[in-house]
Amino acid sequence: MPPRNHGPPAPPRFLDGLPVLEITTLTTDSADQLRTSVAPGTAIRFGSQHGTALAAPHPLTATTWTDLHRETPTEPSWTVRFRTPATFGNGNRFSPWPDPAAVARSLTTRWNTFNPDPTQHFDEDPRLWRRIWVSDVEGHTELLPLPGLTVPGFLGRIRYHCDDPGVATTLHRLLLFAELAGLGRYTTRGLGIITLDSGAGRNPVVSGPQKSPRSVQRSDQRKQYNSDVPGSPAERAGGRSVQ
């Protein structure tokens, strides 16, 4: 069987010869904490790995909730590429299938939870998502070992279509949000990193950090591993934030 080409998975990024770790925050407070609590020499822990910051976090890109909420699609379909596996479900039930209703419901809940402006919240009526369907898919399931359990994740690409203008606009904004915040469960562990194919009027991230109190920001910082941590001797960490 010939190899499938879904676009490359999210490989380690390097800057100045050091791996890059992107950090996304979804509130103003968490973004401020990232900027103010890390300085050269600060001790950092990622799970069982301990290190030392070599530099303060550096904002890379940013957008605002309002800018995301103003976005409108130019076509009623979106190709989503999963750069890391994504898993969905409730409780102890897990599925690798990026069902349109599950995707929209999950993103709506996260948007409404973290967006501080209630006038920009989306309707959570599940009947709305019946207007969205899958028109094309190519991918496979990967089993992901997590602490205490193993979950199935989808890796590949999927194309969503919607013929209702209002629902299409909502889905468009939610998928732009997902490019920054991830999709599905365990996004804080690196699952569900996605990108949208060009087109459909999508390009929410602007160069440089926004000064708005509600913004999406990407930062980076350097981290030096302690000698008892296996792997690369140094790491440069980067972060994004939704505020």
Rounded average pLDDT per 10-residue block, the chain, 243 residues: 40 70 79 87 84 79 88 96 94 94 95 95 95 97 90 97 96 96 92 84 41 44 36 40 56
pLDDT value at residue 48: 83
- Does some domain include residue 3? no
Question: Residue 167: CA atoms inside 13 Å, Cβ hemisphere, count?
Answer: 20
- pLDDT given at position 10: 54
Distance between CA atoms of 225 and 230, rounded to whole angstroms? Answer: 9
Same domain, yes or no: 27 and 114: no
CATH number of residue 89's parent domain: 3.30.70.1900
Report yes or no: 116 and 184 within 8 Å, Cβ to Cβ: no
Q: If 0-12 CB within 10 Å is exposed, 13-18 middle and 19+ buried, where does residue 3 land? A: exposed
Domain assignment present for residue 59? The answer is yes
The pLDDT assigned to 239 comes to: 52
Give residue 11's pLDDT.
59
What is the rounded CA–CA span in Å between residue 94 and residue 97?
A: 9
The string of DSSP codes covering 1-16 is -PPP-S----PPEEET
pLDDT of residue 225: 34
Same structural domain for residues 103 and 191?
yes
Res 236: pLDDT: 38
Number of domains observed in the structure of the chain: 2
Q: Indicate whether 82 and 192 sit together in one domain.
A: yes
Residues 6+ apart with CB under 8 A from 24: 180, 181, 182, 218, 239, 240, 241, 242
Phi, psi of 112 (to 5 degrees): -65, -25
Separation CA 20–CA 238 (nearest Å): 6
- What is the domain extent for residue 136? 72-196
pLDDT value at residue 62: 74
Same domain as 217, residue 186: no
Separation CA 78–CA 168 (nearest Å): 10
